[in-house]
Structure 1
Amino acid sequence: MAKNDPYAALRIREFNIFLLLRFALVFGWSMQFIVIEWEVYTLTKDPLYLGLIGLMEIIPAFTMALFAGHIVDQREKRNLLALCIAAFSLISLGLFLLTWDTVVGHWETNTILYCIYALVFFGGFLRSFFGPTIFSLIALLVPKKIYPNAATWSSSTWKAATVLGALFGGFFIGWIGVASTLCIVFVLVALAFVITFQIEKKPILNPNIGESVKESLKVGLKFVFNNKAILGALSLDMIAVLFGGAVALLSVFAQDILHVGPKGFGVLNASISIGSILTMFITTYLPVSKNAGKKLLISIFGFGICIIIFGMSELFWVSVAALFFSGVTDGVSMVIRQTILQLKTPDHMRGRVASVNSMFVGSSNELGAFESGIAAKYLGGAARAVIFGGVMTLLTVVAIGAKNKTLRNLDLTKDIEDHEKED
């Protein structure tokens, strides 16, 4: 295999199958998120209700994360992923029925909202298992020496699905309506479930099978908090996502500030992911392992600047450009963070480390949605809320960069060389 082969991971059949099922799943998940945000704001015209969507998902996702990581490290990963997808298909089916006039045509608005929030809550429970399972499965599909390449392609596929899901989600709302779009989501999730069984069952690498939950969680948390590179990267990304995420308020910008309708809403969502995926494809040719810490700090600082520009803009093309470049910087930070996690995490602890990652970063998306809704409600509008978030992101980068010398000076080149010797 050629050194620095940008397609190294793609030469492995099961990894390609994994990318296909992940694309189908995330494409559907992304469309579902867009459509539900649009539907809830259409029903209520209140950004606070958008924030409640994030709150309903983060409560179970955050509280269950550590336990989920323990379960993932103790179980076979292929079947666990299939079980999660099967349960998620029930959520997609339920959301479809809740937006179908034939079913809820005479229901009160509050009843529909309560049911939507209940399904979102169940989705948060599943999300606590999805992240650790997928993170652990990737490491079982490819040799250690190409972990960075696999992480890049996996993240790129995730972003590609996100961009297309966001784009088509917005367009489909205008073309075929909310209910029909959610029906497509259900079909995609069912397809992902079928594809999962094209991957063979994998061995369980944990030498401590049967370890008590208490001891397992203690060991996992101790590892993360003692590793300054991992802890610094997770903390940095968590605060950036928490305060710098404008996605939760894009429906407000599309309808009330930029006045661009559902298609413009889809473009705004898609522009973020377009920037990210282009950047991640580039990093398959230009690895970010050298001086990774400094690159991570610079990328998230640039992300904060872009978010501030978006919050200040009242022109559609400026807003799209700002979101595009926020995606570019976010793409760099995502690849670096995933590479750090893959290279620095032992095989038998991947589920627990990924669960902590989901608590730090994954859950901060939903908590960020709640924060954005609250900020928009009490700071005088969505624009001020987004600007505030961007400023907080900049302050966070400066603070963590100054205090965490290990992260600031992090270079992953030696880690990659060590894994090449192992293989």
Structure 2
Amino acid sequence: MQFPSLRHLFGHPRFIKFWIARVVGTIANQMLMVAVGWQMYDLTGSAWDLGLVGLFQFVPALLLTLPAGHVADRLRRNRIFAACMLLQAMVAVLLLTATMQGFASRELILGISVALGVARAFQMPAQQAIIPLLVPPGLLSQAIALAASGMQTAIIAGPALGGALYVAGAAHVYVASTALLVLACALMAAVRYDHQPATGGITLESALAGVTFLWRNKPLLGAISLDLFAVLLGGATALLPMFARDILHTGPEGLGLLRAAPAAGALAISLVLLRWPIRRRSGPLLLASVAVFGLATMVFGLSSHFGLSLAALAVTGAADNISVVIRQSLVQLDTPDEIRGRVSAVNSIFIGASNQLGEFESGATAAWFGPVMSVVLGGVGTLLVAAAWIRLFPGLARRDHLVREPARA
């Protein structure tokens, strides 16, 4: 199989340096999440506490992401990214010290979850908004697809490696994560590009420019809110330790594979999208991918066979990645650069809500109804959301061409 777009992308060294830094940093972050989740469940055995880990990451991300978007439009985005990698490395060192000296606790894990939420708040707008500055406009959609495939590769490798290392002890995971995060920090700090900071004073109107832009562009609002509700309802990541131990009867290695399965499906479909980019019927394809995500989530919730569970999670990853590529392409291609950081910040809030708040929702409903019913009901809710969005956002449902002329601010 030939990937002609890859030849062009690898001709831009600064994008490749960013791509490697993002992949390395994501591997480290995923290893960290496996260790934190398993260590919390070892300490408390509570689905509620697994949900709190997600909630404690989401709250600071919610509070800080809009200011972070303004920062991303004014400061160098590569330096913001590098600083976030360094903060996560410091978190890994703290967890290593706590594990080695025996003071790791529920409260400590919840505290470092807040720090990870702060890092996420500033990292997401910067890493999304920097891609259009590293490649020509004609390669942007392929660059987004390649970035997504690299991230999914990291999400496959990270949990699997983290689970394998955790067998030897949580400290091994934290050492490896620290080394990779420092490397990502150094690589990203070395990226060079033309920096054009946003002009004008910092006002409430300028801080909310991203919100205003999305509110006036209903197809974009529909795209990012669709992802919010789909993953909020259909995500089962926080419950994977429970499914691994109590339903599928496996250990940390199995948990790593379960966490990696969605990324395996996402990687496979992203390679297809690199060869055959989405150019037509982008709106209907986005809605269909969310419906498939909901159906596969229901299959996972009902499965008690490890192989079927892996396959269902892989399908959720493939469907979600189609949604990600379409949504990110729409946001970056339809948004002027002078407010791209702030629009990306709003998008990050939606992503953070769907992931971190979704983990809390999963933990809470699992505590009330049990993990199986929690996941199945989430899948049903995702299907209902996809159907509702056809009527609520007809412009999105009718969107045909993915690439069009950029909108004016």
Q: Under TM normalisation by the shorter chain, which class is it?
A: over 0.9
Write the distance in 1 (CA, Å) between the matches of 2:371 and 2:7: 42
One-letter amino acid of the counterpart of residue 393, structure 2: N
Aligned to 2:320: 330
Structure 2 CA distance for aligned equivalents of residues 270 and 146 of structure 1: 28
Which 10-residue stretch deviates more, 117-126 or 364-373? 117-126
Q: Which among 387, 391, 409 is matched to residue 398 of structure 2?
A: 409
Q: Which residue of structure 2 aligns with residue 383 of structure 1?
A: 372
Pick aligned residue for 2:283 from 287, 293, 297: 293
Alpha-carbon distance in 1 for matches of 2:384, 2:358: 16
Query: Which whole-Å deviations, capped at 9, do the CAs of 1:323-372 have from their partners, x for residues lacking one?
Result: 11111111111111111111111101111111101111223200000000
Alignment of 1:13-412 (within 5 A): 13-100=13-100, 103-104=101-102, 107=103, 112-174=105-167, 176-206=168-198, 208-209=199-200, 211-379=201-369, 381-412=370-401
SS at match of 1:202: coil
Q: 1:205: Cα distance to partner?
A: 4.6
Normalised to the residue count of structure 1, the TM-score between the two structures is 0.93
Number of aligned residue pairs: give it: 405
Deviations 1:177-206 (CA, angstroms, capped at 9, x unpaired): 111111100110011111123311531252
For the Cα contact (< 8 Å) 1:98–1:116, is it kept in 2?
A: no
Farther off after superposition, 262-271 or 296-305? 262-271
Measure the CA separation in 2 of the matches of 1:414 and 1:344: 8
Give, as a single letter, the amino acid of the residue that structure 1 aligns with 2:153: A
1:413 Cα offset (Å): 4.6
Q: Is the 8 A contact 1:236 1:400 kept in 2?
A: yes
Deviations 1:124-148 (A, max 9, x none): 1121110111112111101111110
Q: What secondary structure, in the 3-state scheme, does the structure 2 residue paired with 1:11 have?
A: coil
Change beyond 3 A, Cα 1:75–1:388: same
Contact 1:77 1:202 in 2 (8 A): no
Q: 2-side partners of 1:141 and 1:16: how far apart?
A: 9
- In structure 1, the gaps of 5 or more residues are none
Structure 2 CA distance for aligned equivalents of residues 414 and 326 of structure 1? 25
The amino acid of 1:32's aligned partner reads: L
* 1-structure distance, mates of 2:355, 2:402: 30
- Partner deviation per Cα, 1:293-350 (whole Å, 9 max, x = no partner): 0000000100000000000011111111111111111111111111111111110111
CA shift digits 1:154-198 (9 cap, x unpaired): 111111111110111112112x21111111001100111111233
The residue type equivalent to 1:293 in the other structure is G
SS of the counterpart of 1:170?
A: helix
In structure 2, distance between residues paired with 1:66 and 1:280: 29
Query: 1:132 & 1:172 partners in 2: Cα distance?
Result: 31
- In structure 2, what is the equivalent of residue 9 of structure 1? 9
Task: Kindly provide the amino acid, as one letter, of the partner of residue 355 in structure 1.
Answer: A
Counterpart of 1:325, as a letter, is V
Is the contact made by 1:205 and 1:347 (CA closer than 8 Å) also made in structure 2?
no
Deviation of residue 215 (structure 1)?
A: 1.8
2:40 and 2:49 in contact (8 A); partners too = yes
Structure 1 contact 163–271 (Cα < 8 Å) conserved: yes
Give the aligned CA root-mean-square deviation in angstroms.
1.7
Distance 1:222 1:396, change over 3 A: same
Separation (CA, whole Å) in 2 of partners of 1:12 and 1:118: 40
Q: In the alignment, is the contact (CA less than 8 A) between 1:77 and 1:201 conserved in 2? A: no
Tell me the SS of whatever aligns to 1:281: helix
Could you tell me how far apart the structure 2 residues matched to 1:251 and 1:354 are?
31
Equivalent residues of 1:54, 1:365 under 8 A apart: yes
The letter of the residue matching 1:405 is P
Moved over 6 A (4+): none
Relative to the length of structure 2, the TM-score reads: 0.96
Could you tell me which runs of 5 or more consecutive residues in structure 2 were left unpaired when the two chains were aligned. Answer: none
**Equivalents in 2 of 1:402, 1:6: separation in Å?**
38
1:220-244 CA distance string (max 9 Å, x none): 2110111112101111000011011
* Aligned residue type for 1:183: V
**Higher alpha-carbon deviation: 189-198 or 152-161:** 189-198
Q: Is the 8 A contact 2:210 2:345 kept in 1?
A: no
Cα distance in structure 1, aligned partners of 2:155 and 2:118: 21
